[in-house]
Structure 1
Amino acid sequence: MGDVVTDMTTGPPLRRIVGFALPLAAASLFQQVYLLVDSVVVGRYVGVDGLAAVGASGPLFYLLNAMFIGLGTAFTIRLAHLRGAGQDRQRRDVVVALAAVTVCWTLGCVLLVTVLAEPVLALMGITGALAEQCARFIGVLSLGFPGIFGSAAVSAYLRGLGDSRAAMWVQACGNLLNIGLALLFVGGLGLGIAGAALATAVAASVATVVGVAASARAYPLPRGRPTRRAVRGEFVDAVRLGAPLATQHVILAVGIMVLVWIIEPYGEVVLAAFTVVSRVEAFSAILFLSFSGAVTAFAAQNLGAGHVERARQGLLRALGLTVGLTVLVSALVLLARGPVAALFTDDPTTRRVTGQYLLIIFPFLSLYTVMVVLHGYLNGARRTTVPLVCTIVAFALVQVPFAYVLSRPFGIEAVMWAVVVSWTTGLAYSVFCLRHVLTPRRTPARGHPPTPVEVRSSP
């Protein structure tokens, strides 16, 4: 693995970004294939009620997992800055701080799930037999939290070093095993949604062990003992940088819970369609989220090395590629929306609602994909508060209220159009915050030195 570490401060910018993004996309592809297969297996073997239970449980798990990913991204950014600045000795302190955060987070999440799973489901309006299935799914899944968060930490570490290919193999190992175990536990042994959760727990644990062993061999830590003061400093910096990212995911997760509460009165059929669309949307966004992660690493390394204009050029070229690929992906999903819906369920109403949802949001997918790539640059520039404010404005203040208020007179279609309104708002805010980067710089007058460009830490 050591030979593939990417120095993103040299070479063609777009080639570096794409080269970094493709392994991330492949890893995410494995993950989304697993999620799709898992949903198909649950839908086919357990039924619409099982698919609805997985969808209703999703926001709670997303809350815990995505918050940790936000903290992990802070360590990724820190490692990338150190690499760009040529300060490898501090990597040891970062690794110790990352390990400590992972252990504490795992223990805290197990405790939270044990105590709060059922009350949170009740707040979402999930009761009765559906609530029992959700609680069973989350309870079994919590057995795999050490592996789930451990593999995420390993991936964050490898991405920070620039080795997205190794991060891909760690995630692919877990996801491929997950697919096989889901088919065995749910389809073969008939364990229901508890079997799907158990498959995730076992596969993530195996991936963590493989990832830690491979990383230790390929990237031995610098000699010497980490000092408590240095580790504490890395921890504080990661929390400060990662808190906006984690808070952003908290808002998203809580907002999704509210959306589930809004949708739940329409019945399990609509909730199942909501689950299917969320899977398709996540699958379609794989490449663009990978571009976002690659732009984060690219910006972090180059801004750390003082190459401000190179970071800007990389962002602009990544945006051009993003728009072109989004048009292609949107067209493919719209053309295949019928077969896609039929893949998950035989229920005609669920298939109809799924197709309608896809037809409304996917013509506007470029609003979302451009926004997430812009957020990648902002994260790499350590301006992590901007994506947080964007989420608050676009999702919490626009999408959720829009869906709630207009769903009463206009029905479930208002929830679907709320997504488009949210994407439009988020993109407009993100472009405004990066207007100084997206617009060409004026050439300074003769005799006047150029104004230095600073990496700002606030919007």
Structure 2
Amino acid sequence: MTDMTSGPALRQILGFAVPLTVASLFQQVYLLVDGIVVGRYVGVAGLAAVGAAGPLFYLLNAMFIGLGTAFTIRLAHLRGAGADGQRRDVVVALAAVTVCWTVGCMLLVTVLAEPVLALMGITGALAEQCAHFIGVLSLGFPGIFGSAAVSAYLRGLGNSRAAMWVQAAGNLLNIGLALLLVGGLGFGIAGAAAATALASTVAMVVGVLASGRIYPLPRGRPDPRAVQGELVDATRLGFPLATQHIILAAGIMVLVWIIEGYGEAVMAAFTIVSRVEALTAIPFLSLSGAMVTFAAQNLGAGQTARARAALLHTLGLTVGLTALASVVVLLAHRPIAALFTSDETTRRITAQYLMIIFPFLALYTVMVVLHGYLNGARRTTAPLLCTVLAFGMVQLPFAYLLSGVFGVRAVMWAVVASWTTGLAYSLFCLRHVLRPPRAPARAPRTPALEVPSSP
């Protein structure tokens, strides 16, 4: 297990973030390849169906990631406090949550997929394709949530490199299966869903075996009361994180409802930009994840000044990397749009969308790094409130009310308004941490006693 309470802070954060970045790059490369394969072999309708089904899957997956992050924070705190003996109880609690969540989600998808799609305004042939895609994908929920749980466990122990290899193996297999099932065998979007289900199951099995070999659990039987306590603590800590993702997923569904009225070309462009944005955000989400573990370990060890200094250095790095990423996307916005589709309307809308939001990317990247520190400090409610304010109270009303006047451009500019609001609120939450510490008050000097001169 990696100790992050001593040594060069920024080097440790980068050492933790780089494997997470590599793992996420594999995942996003798969998503990009999947989007290209579906767009080329199935067409704009297939790409729109995958994009429309995305928010429903995101709702289920991201909520579990929120709960998994709670266990990551708990394990990191135990590591910083030197209490590894309690790890067994945390692992049992994490396994119980994973099994219950998997079974519940499989039942929910079976019953609620079509009604939820109808609420989003997805009907007809598009709704049938979406429901079919989600139905096939649900067969892989044990692997999808199981591999996410393994990743949360390894990150909590400070070993992002092992988490990287587990995810990379699954994503590489995912790419190969997508090319085979969709491009080679012609199974359509069902083939894309089956590829994800199969690859995730393999990743889960590899991850469980590897983590058990690297980190054998302490001997003895779990303490039922301790496991129950870990479940309560994880629920309390993870509920704001999961709720944050619920709001995001519900909001994305509303955006899909707004965008769907503009036709398949706009929906396809929305799908493309979502994937480009997700790819670009990977290094910064990885820095945020590293900050969670770093802050949790150091604050658990009582090293507040070290955690603050590391946050400031990470923010400086974030701004520099964001400027580079923004320039690359802005210069290549037309080739990026052309990579996914040959439809001229979709290309034009995609390029326009990228040109509007990417000059302001730093608003988002700085915000997510600040959220990593807040989560590591166990202040998980603050990012939730930020999401409610920025996404629920700014972006959605902005997009809905102004789309009637400015059209789909209002949806694009609503993203910038949301990022601006979210960053301002996040800076407010951490104003005491970001503000330079006050110098200790100097004791007043006592005037020297005058010694009378000799007569």
TM-score normalised to structure 2 length: 0.97
Q: Would you say 1:138 and 2:129 are equivalent positions? A: no
- Residue deviations 1:159-210 (CA, integer Å, cap 9, x gap): 0000000000010010000000000000011000000000000000000000
Q: Equivalents in 1 of 2:299, 2:349: separation in Å?
A: 46
Match of 2:256 in 1: 260
Q: Secondary structure at the match of 2:291?
A: helix
Q: Secondary structure at the match of 1:96?
A: helix
- Residue deviations 1:332-354 (CA, integer Å, cap 9, x gap): 00001111000000000000000
Q: 1:210 aligns with which of 195, 206, 216?
A: 206
Q: Would you say 1:38 and 2:31 are equivalent positions? A: no
Q: Would you say 1:231 and 2:227 are equivalent positions? A: yes
Q: 1:80 aligns with which of 58, 61, 76?
A: 76
Q: 2:171 aligns with which of 170, 175, 178?
A: 175
Give the Å deviation of 1:36. 0.3
Match of 2:46 in 1: 50
Q: Secondary structure at the match of 1:382?
A: coil
Q: 2:270 aligns with which of 271, 274, 297?
A: 274
Q: Secondary structure at the match of 1:122?
A: helix
Q: 2:386 aligns with which of 385, 390, 394?
A: 390
Matches within 5 A, 1:295-306: 295-306=291-302
Match of 2:412 in 1: 416
Q: Secondary structure at the match of 1:220?
A: coil
Q: Equivalents in 1 of 2:407, 2:252: separation in Å?
A: 18
Q: Which amino acid aligns with 1:154?
A: V
Q: Which amino acid aligns with 1:86?
A: G
Q: Equivalents in 1 of 2:405, 2:363: separation in Å?
A: 27
Contact 1:102 1:149 in 2 (8 A): yes
Match of 2:279 in 1: 283
Match of 1:375 in 2: 371
Match of 1:430 in 2: 426
Match of 1:403 in 2: 399
Q: 1:9 aligns with which of 2, 5, 8?
A: 5
Contact 1:6 1:20 in 2 (8 A): no
Higher Cα Rg: structure 1 or 2? 2
Give the Å deviation of 1:447. 5.0
Question: Gapped runs of 5+ residues in structure 2?
Answer: 445-455
Match of 1:441 in 2: 437
Contact 1:17 1:294 in 2 (8 A): yes
Q: Equivalents in 2 of 1:112, 1:389: separation in Å?
A: 27
Q: Which amino acid aligns with 1:28?
A: S
Q: Equivalents in 2 of 1:276, 1:447: separation in Å?
A: 62
Matches within 5 A, 1:60-139: 60-139=56-135
Q: 1:155 aligns with which of 148, 151, 154?
A: 151
- Residue deviations 1:286-325 (CA, integer Å, cap 9, x gap): 0000000001100000000000000000000000000000
Q: Would you say 1:322 and 2:318 are equivalent positions? A: yes
Runs of 4+ displaced beyond 3 Å: none
- Residue deviations 1:402-444 (CA, integer Å, cap 9, x gap): 0000000110000000000000000000000100000101112
Give the Å deviation of 1:446. 3.0
Match of 1:196 in 2: 192
Q: Which amino acid aligns with 1:42?
A: V
Q: Equivalents in 1 of 2:57, 2:142: separation in Å?
A: 14
Q: Would you say 1:349 and 2:345 are equivalent positions? A: yes
Contact 1:97 1:231 in 2 (8 A): yes
Q: Would you say 1:313 and 2:309 are equivalent positions? A: yes
Identity of aligned residues (%): 80
Q: Secondary structure at the match of 2:221?
A: coil
Question: Gapped runs of 5+ residues in structure 1?
Answer: 449-459
- Residue deviations 1:54-80 (CA, integer Å, cap 9, x gap): 000000000000000000000000000
Q: Secondary structure at the match of 1:9?
A: coil
Q: Equivalents in 2 of 1:444, 1:313: separation in Å?
A: 18
- Residue deviations 1:67-96 (CA, integer Å, cap 9, x gap): 000000000000000000000000000000
Q: Equivalents in 2 of 1:444, 1:222: separation in Å?
A: 45
